């Protein structure tokens, strides 16, 4: 799987501030991914110094475990990973950019499917809904609120992990700014000390 950081297409060099934002964003994905999937699941991370239309500004490649039957905790992990870059921006830079739009869409899409299509709603756990738009207002509002609760839960988990491993985030971000790509043994060395966290 790939987590990608997007920004409005332009053929221009990134400013130092942009580079810091993209590298911090990708470092967040690396650290949270290592904590939730295991350090060995993160295989490559890179950023670009010059944005070319249609290309990503940063990418983190990883191999999550394959589950035949996905459980709630598996979806929570996937959403947390999707939100990790944006949360890292907020925690370490004090503001967020619009570059994590695709990550947010992915997170919201998973959370919405959990409560509508996978029977994982806390309020309507034995019902499946094809869409939120055709439901009675009270049901759709409850489900929308539940989606937001899931997103908030996952953002809080990402922040907890990132704060615990602040030095890893900063080291990876600094290295990305310098070299633009980290892979293999070098990446595993930077992720050393992060143990896999269990999610209930």
Q: Residue 30 domain-assigned?
A: yes
Candidate list 20, 26, 89, 159, residue with the active-site label: 26
pLDDT of 99 reads 80
pLDDT of 120 reads 92
Q: Residue 197 domain-assigned?
A: no
Q: Residue 196 domain-assigned?
A: no
On average, the pLDDT of the chain sits at 91
pLDDT of 28 reads 98
Q: Residue 43 domain-assigned?
A: yes
Number of C-alpha atoms within 13 angstroms, CB side, residue 186? 12
**Closest of 95, 101, 110, 104 to residue 57, by C-alpha:** 101
How far apart, in Å, do the first and last CA atoms of the chain sit? 23
Distance CA 194, CA 97 (A): 27
Structure tokens, 113? 């499917």
Confidence check: pLDDT of 62 > 60: yes
Confidence check: pLDDT of 8 > 70: no
Confidence check: pLDDT of 4 > 70: no
The CA distances from residue 69 to 64, 74, 181, in Å, are 14, 9, 34
- Is pTM beyond 0.85? Reply is yes
Q: Residue 200 domain-assigned?
A: no
pLDDT of 1 reads 63
Q: What range does the domain containing 138 cover?
A: 2-191
pLDDT band at residue 139 using 50, 70 and 90 as cut-offs: confident
Q: Residue 198 domain-assigned?
A: no
- Residue 54's domain is classified under what CATH number? 1.20.58.760
| CA 71 distance to own-chain centroid | 18
Residue 26 annotated in active site: yes
At 144-166, the pLDDT tens digits run 999 999 999 999 999 999 999 99
DSSP 195: P
Q: Residue 199 domain-assigned?
A: no
Q: Which helix (H) or strand (E) holds 43?
A: strand 42-47
Query: How long is the chain?
Result: 200
Q: Residue 125 domain-assigned?
A: yes
Distance CA 84, CA 26 (A): 8
How many domains does the structure of the chain reveal?
1
Structure tokens, 95? 């503001």
Q: The tokens 């060395």 sit on which residue?
A: 189
């Amino acid at each position: 799987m790939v987590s990608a950081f997007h920004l409005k297409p332009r053929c221009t060099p990134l400013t130092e501030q942009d580079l810091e934002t993209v590298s911090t964003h990708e470092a967040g994905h690396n650290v949270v991914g290592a904590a939730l999937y295991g350090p060995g699941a993160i295989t490559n991370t890179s950023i670009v110094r010059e944005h070319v239309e249609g290309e990503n500004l940063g990418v983190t490649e990883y191999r999550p475990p394959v589950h035949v039957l996905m459980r709630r905790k598996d979806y929570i992990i996937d959403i947390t990973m999707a939100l990790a870059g944006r949360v890292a921006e907020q925690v370490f830079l004090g503001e967020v950019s619009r570059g994590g739009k695709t990550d947010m869409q992915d997170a919201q899409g998973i959370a919405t499917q959990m409560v509508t299509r996978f029977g994982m709603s806390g309020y309507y756990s034995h019902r499946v809904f094809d869409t939120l738009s055709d439901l009675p207002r009270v049901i759709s509002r409850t489900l929308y609120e539940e989606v937001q609760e899931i997103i908030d839960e996952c953002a809080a988990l990402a922040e907890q992990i990132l704060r615990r491993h602040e030095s890893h985030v900063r080291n990876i971000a600094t290295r990305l700014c310098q070299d633009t790509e980290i892979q293999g043994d070098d990446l595993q060395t930077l992720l050393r000390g992060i143990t896999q966290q269990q999610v209930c």
